[in-house]
Structure 1
């Protein structure tokens, strides 16, 4: 189906993805910090669930789209730096990059300075980009291009950028299938994501491996793809997209799977949640449960 979305429709899809991202982030963070968390209905941890840097940066990405329609990298870099709340769990690498930007260092130099000039291949660009993908549900090419722009301000490494492109394209395809009224087969969804990636990246190889692991036990999937423990795009994105492809019509199941897998749970749940919620929406059968969303602390007042 070829179509063009009006701005209100774009924003509605992106907000649903953001709801899935932020709720997964907050519940994943709570789950990672407490061995007693039970995600069975009626046995959830007490509210409020605090979200992390994943959500704060995702809100800035969506705000940039609402303000300009496209990603302005200069403005986005400054927004990331000015809005950084150190209480939200930013990693040391991101903190240093944003400190440099806030101090006046141009973002290309700040991003390239990470890891002795290699740039960051972390999962940070992927964790914040799902709502952008949903916003561009009518064009995976545009979703990929805008995801790349949003990633480059902090991630100069090709793998970090590829992680963002993969998640954005996944969210775009998930939202598009919602508009089409059907759920794509998991292998078809993963093939569509892989087609948008540079075949020379480990992220591309990980997405292809994920397709070969459909239907396999979770422990085997984690052993092959990772669970974000290394906090890189390479050991995070393939796993989260396996989760999203497997549970595209069941948001609670997707989040429970991320929690059971362990690792960087707030980020894996944020990524998988952003893709699945782009397809399911909020408060629908299989969508983000209203009680979960109500338990998540409110988004910042400047969020779109």
Structure 2
């Protein structure tokens, strides 16, 4: 069972890294990305902080079989590469953890003690959902533990729970879009993220990602409630088709590397790694050595 779980998590991690790395090539903060008839940019495509933190999630699962929060915080801090595109608050927090700071106090401190409601906890968590595909309730519980290492606001935690459960459901077998989002909603507490997911459920009849993003958000605010509902909508409509899932997500603009990382991690959870686009996989920067052998 642990080996099967790690294979699923590894497949999700590869999809997350692929979505992140290719999505980062199209990141245009103030406009929609210039997709140029879906032509691919020159390789290699470098992944960002989304993938680097997801690798730590995967490593802790491989070593501990679940989220050991102290180990996860230590891995985030030890592997923190400033040049991967981390936000200022996360850069500061991980530096202070390396210097001996208590991650519990540092995570809870921002915004007058309410904690961050950013999308950072959601962007890295899909492999955890794939790992616990046989138990979505446990995926939700473990996702909350992984989130609060850096993001203690309830909306950030809800975003991580939603993505983890979505990856768990995707890994457990094919589902139609409506029941898929219904399954996610079963585990997401009341709040803005849940409200957005309910709206995403209603918008499944639409196919234009830009129109949907105008309602749900596309990550431009870098908040969980502005990111996760759209990502779950894009994944729900494209389960089993990684390329279509990517282009659907990227076409909406916004925080493209993060939305595509989330969608890539969810969709890849339900696919054999060999079904990911071969040319795309070859163009992506390899995962770091410290996780490759885990």
Task: Tell me which interval the TM-score lies in, with the shorter structure as reference length.
Answer: over 0.9
Whether 1:212 and 2:207 are equivalent positions in the alignment is: no
- Paired residues, number: 288
1:223-302 equivalence runs, <5 A: 223-284=214-275, 288-302=276-290
Q: Counterpart of 2:156?
A: 160
Describe how 1:42-53 pairs up with structure 2 within 5 A. Answer: 43-53=39-49
Instruction: Tell me if 1:118 matches 2:114.
Output: yes
In the alignment, structure 2 segments of 5+ residues that lack a partner are none
After TM superposition, list the pairs within 5 Å mapping 1:132-171 onto structure 2: 132-171=128-167
Structure-1 separation of matches of 2:193 and 2:210 = 20
The residue aligned with 1:29 is: 24
1: CA distance, partners of 2:143 / 2:73: 14
Residue of structure 1 in register with 2:178 after alignment = 187
TM-aligned CA deviation for residue 32 of structure 1 = 1.2
User: In structure 2, what is the Cα distance between the partners aligned to 1:244 and 1:35?
Assistant: 19
* Match for residue 203 of structure 1 among 193, 200, 203: 193
The Cα of 1:215 is off from its aligned counterpart by 2.2
- Which is worse superposed, 216-225 or 272-281? 216-225
RMSD in angstroms over aligned alpha carbons? 1.3
Q: In the alignment, does 2:86 pair up with 1:90?
A: yes
Give 1:160 shift: 0.6
Q: How far is 1:249 from its partner?
A: 1.5
Residues 1:128 and 1:39: Cα distance change in structure 2 (over 3 Å): farther
* Residue 64 of structure 1, CA deviation: 0.2
Given that 1:25 and 1:52 are in contact with CA atoms closer than 8 Å, whether structure 2 keeps it comes out as yes
* TM-score in terms of structure 2 length: 0.95
C-alpha distance in structure 1 between counterparts of 2:2 and 2:223, whole Å: 33
